[in-house]
Structure 1
Amino acid sequence: MEHHFADCTLDDARLTLTRSGSAVAVEPKVFDLIHVLVRNAGDLVTRDRMVEEVWGGRIVSESAMSACIASARKAVGDNGKTQAIIRTVPRRGLILVAEVSDQAGAGLSDAVHAPANAAQRIRYCRSEDGHAIAYAISGEGLPVLRFGPLNTCDLEMEWAYGLYRSSVSSMALHSRYLRFDNVGSGQSERVQREIDFETEARDAAAVADAAGFDAFAAVSFSGGCLTALSFAALYPERLTRLAIVGGYVEGRSRRSPDATPDALKSMIAEGWERSESPFASAFAMSYFPEGPAEEAREVLREMQAACPIEMMLRDRDVINNATVDHLLEKVRCPVLILHARDDAVHPLSQAKKLAAGIQRAELVVLETANHVPLYGSSCWESYNYTLAEFLTG
């Protein structure tokens, strides 16, 4: 169904919002909020109802709700001062005051309209050594493959959590976005095997083949750069461009022979198996000191579900001693490096070393202390724009 109001059209079958004929990029929770307001135009939508329909009844902070409302107003061309489209009823809720007209979407019957929270489809392929790898594709456009942090992604959980749906949907607005879970974690086959980044790169190639990706762009997050750079060296003809977010050349043990014991590993050992452990929370806040806290907790919950403690402890040892310095000169595609200025996990000096070692690499410094920007942080919009602009050329 298409809902027309002001100069906007919200299509809940295609999950799109346009204003004055131009597509507007919105996060899933923002889309869901506008959707519930449009469906109840002229009526009060209470804060309790917003929590139920937009956040699935989970506890949500005032700051997260305020940020979502502000983003919804911005998306439809409104603001908190004029409130010409979305009006606040103090201490009660919101009303969409613009007149709304509805019509069936072109070529779609009411019987096949997709809900705003559409389910993702998970598929499987096989690695060279025969293990099942789970993958999913979102959006349409130029192909983009994601290299997530080693063994800490879960396709099902990241889709369910608003944080990751925000990130995935941002990418899917501009591309055909392919994500996969590493063997041993998430929705892939839960087996333990020795970590070898060339093997992980060959797994990524198997996923790309199954998805029908020949030559494509890619984005890596945190330790995913170790696999991404291995892939770039193995398959230079397949990678058209590469974005590296929160990446590094050397693990912490290689950066200094006098490196202190890994405090993050101690936090994992003490609290990984308890969802509300203060040690696990401290681990998450080491990566995301600026929050928002709710989003950082969602990252932690996904990581805990995706990767068992014994694998997580082993992975810390591997990445602490890893280096990709020998691979940098082998990268042939354009590379964009995005890195937080005040990253305490992998310092900015590591991003500069990446940029200096890779031909045709560019560095963009993000004004945040979060290892990777989170939805609701001050640099979120500029970060997403810069990333999408590079990956889609």
Structure 2
Amino acid sequence: MEYQFADCVLNTARHDLTRAGVPQKVEPQVFDLLLLLVGNPGRLVSRDENVDVVWGGRIVSESAISARIAAARKAVGDDGKAQAVIRTVARGGLMLVAEVNETVSQTREAAPVAVPAVQRIKYTRDKDGHTLAYSILGTGWDVMRFPPPYTNDLEHEWRFKHHRVFIEALSKHFRYLRYDQVGSGQSERLERDMSIANLADDALCVADTTGASTFAGFALSGGVLGAVSFAARYPERLSRLVIVGGYVDGRVTRGQSGPNDSLKTMIAEGWGKPDSPFATAFLTTYFPEGPLEDVRELANMMQSACTPDTMLNYRDLSNTASIADLLPDVRCPTLVIHGRHDAVHPLSEAQKLAAGIPDAELVVLETANHVPLPGNDVWDVYSDTLIAFLKG
């Protein structure tokens, strides 16, 4: 369906807005607000209806509502003074006052966005002045990945088949933001304080640098620590969240392992040695279904991403962490995806995430891999489910 009003066209099939033929960048909640208004032209839309439809009935601040209204006005070429398209009725709500024409869209799917042959890595500085590397691919709504801490390298994953497949899939639909935490990958290498707050601060730095005022996010494995912390601290910045292979309580906290963690022994013995069988054995516990060549490549990337000391320090943080007290403060729609037979973080941890985050949903995949890899039976279901949820 297309809604034509003023000099704008809102297309529900492509989920986009153009003004005078020029595409406008609109965040998901802004698009939903415009869709609510154009679907009810000349009718007063109350604040409660706005919250029910756009925010899913969640508790939301007046400043967040006002920010989305202002963004909607800006996108259609209106402002709070002119109110030629969107009118505010005091103590009543909003009304679309422009004439609206509806037509059935002939375009079923937006044209795919070509993925460039080269990757451009950019740099910014965190609150302490350390260099932080990030990369942007694609156009559309902003989606940020919260990577597993200290195990990622932007340059290496660009050359890695598994990651490249996923990068291409996401960047065809979204403006996809990726980064390496300070202390790893292409960011400044240093031994810094291991804290969940620092993980969230890295994401905030990238969001502010790239102009992602509101964005969707997805967290892989230990990336859940920074993602949930970010969502709880900045609820107005995160529009929706996917958590894959996440957990609430670390292994020590939930009594699964003691101070003599066998995986820490593997790290200490082989992390600094290229093609170490210890590193491959470490990753095999996460990906018992393989493919083995991908597991070896992941091990090589993780080994190159940080020093053994950084990895051991992160292992201590991961083992003893708990984000249980932060879950009730996550206000965005959240999808938890988990392998039924995951031996690293059991399904019960995913159930705790989904039960603790208000209105979260859980999808269980029939796999033992911690995170699905291309070649796994569940790969297509996994990627399709994730992308569909991020699209809203």
Match of 1:180 in 2: 179
- What is the rounded CA distance, in whole Å, between the counterparts of 1:204 and 1:392 in structure 2? 20
Partner of 1:222: 221
Q: Aligned partner of 1:319: which letter?
A: S
Deviation at 1:260, TM superposition (A): 7.1
**Structure 1 length-normalised TM:** 0.69
Aligned to 2:343: 344
Q: Distance in 2 between matches of 1:319 and 1:258?
A: 12
Give 1:250's aligned residue.
249
CA offsets 1:75-111 (integer angstroms, 9 cap, x no match):
xxxxxxxxxxxxxxxxxxxxxxxxxxxxxxxxxxxxx
Counterpart secondary structure, 1:254: coil
- Asked if 1:357 corresponds to 2:356, the answer is yes
1:273 counterpart letter in structure 2: G
Q: Give the Cα separation in 2 of the matches to 1:202 and 1:388.
A: 25
Q: Deviations over 1:146-190 (max 9, x none)?
A: 100011110000001111101111111211110000000000011
The AA in structure 2 aligned to 1:210 is: T
Match runs of 1:1-393 below 5 Å: 118-256=117-255, 259=258, 261-393=260-392
Cα distance in structure 2, aligned partners of 1:338 and 1:383: 8
SS, match of residue 187 in structure 2: coil
Query: How much has 1:199 moved relative to structure 2?
Result: 2.3
Q: Distance in 2 between matches of 1:280 and 1:337?
A: 28
How much has 1:200 moved relative to structure 2? 2.0
- Structure 1 unaligned blocks of 5 or more: 1-114
Measure, in 2, the Cα distance between the counterparts of 1:354 and 1:236. Answer: 17
Aligned equivalents of 2:326 and 2:116: distance in 1? 41
Say whether the 8 Å CA contact 2:183–2:191 is kept in structure 1: yes
Shift of 1:258: 6.7
C-alpha change, 1:290 and 1:184, in structure 2 (3 Å) is same
Conservation of the 8 A alpha-carbon contact between 2:251 and 2:257: no
* Cα drift, residue 320 of structure 1: 0.3
Going from structure 1 to structure 2, the CA distance change for 1:186 and 1:140 (only over 3 Å counts) comes to same
User: Is the partner of 2:252 in helix, strand or coil?
Assistant: helix
Contact 2:149 2:199 in 1 (8 A): no
Aligned to 1:27: none
Between the aligned partners of 1:204 and 1:372, the Cα distance in structure 2 is 21
Quote the Cα distance in structure 2 between the aligned partners of 1:329 and 1:300: 35
Shift of 1:256: 1.3
Relative to 1, partners in 2 of residues 1:369 and 1:260: Cα closer, same or farther, differing over 3 Å? farther
Q: What SS does structure 1 have at the residue aligned with 2:285?
A: helix
The alignment yields a C-alpha RMSD, in angstroms, of 1.6
3-state DSSP class of the match of 2:336? strand
Q: In 1, Cα distance between the equivalents of 2:219 and 2:227?
A: 6
Q: Give how far 1:117 is off.
A: 6.8
Q: CA deviation at 1:203?
A: 1.9
Q: Which runs of 5+ in 2 are unaligned?
A: 1-113
Task: Return the letter of the residue paired with 2:185.
Answer: G
Aligned identity (percent) is 55
Q: Is the 8 A contact 2:274 2:303 kept in 1?
A: yes
CA contact (8 A) 2:143 2:176 kept: yes
Contact 2:146 2:219 in 1 (8 A): yes
Aligned residue type for 1:233 = A
Deviations 1:300-359 (A, max 9, x none): 111000011111111111110000001001000010000011001111000000011010
Per-residue CA shift, 1:184-237, capped at 9, x if unaligned?
000001111111211221221111111110111000000000000000011000
Moved more, 295-304 or 195-204: 195-204
Return the offset for 1:275.
2.2
> Aligned AA for 1:288?
F
CA distance in structure 1 between the aligned counterparts of 2:162 and 2:271, rounded to whole angstroms: 21
The superposition leaves residues 259-279 of structure 1 with CA deviations (integer Å, 9 ceiling, x where unpaired) of 473111111111112222221
CA shift at 1:257, angstroms? 7.5
Letter in 2 for 1:124: Y
Which residue of structure 2 aligns with residue 79 of structure 1? none
Q: What CA distance in whole angstroms lies between the structure 1 residues aligned with 2:257 and 2:240?
A: 36
SS in 1 for 2:165: helix
Secondary structure class of the residue paired with 1:297? helix
* 1-structure distance, mates of 2:268, 2:191: 18
Task: Give the count of matched residue pairs.
Answer: 280
The DSSP-based 3-state class of the residue aligned with 2:314 is helix
Cα distance in structure 2, aligned partners of 1:265 and 1:257: 14
Letter in 2 for 1:191: L
For residue 185 of structure 2, give the secondary structure of its aligned residue in structure 1. Answer: coil
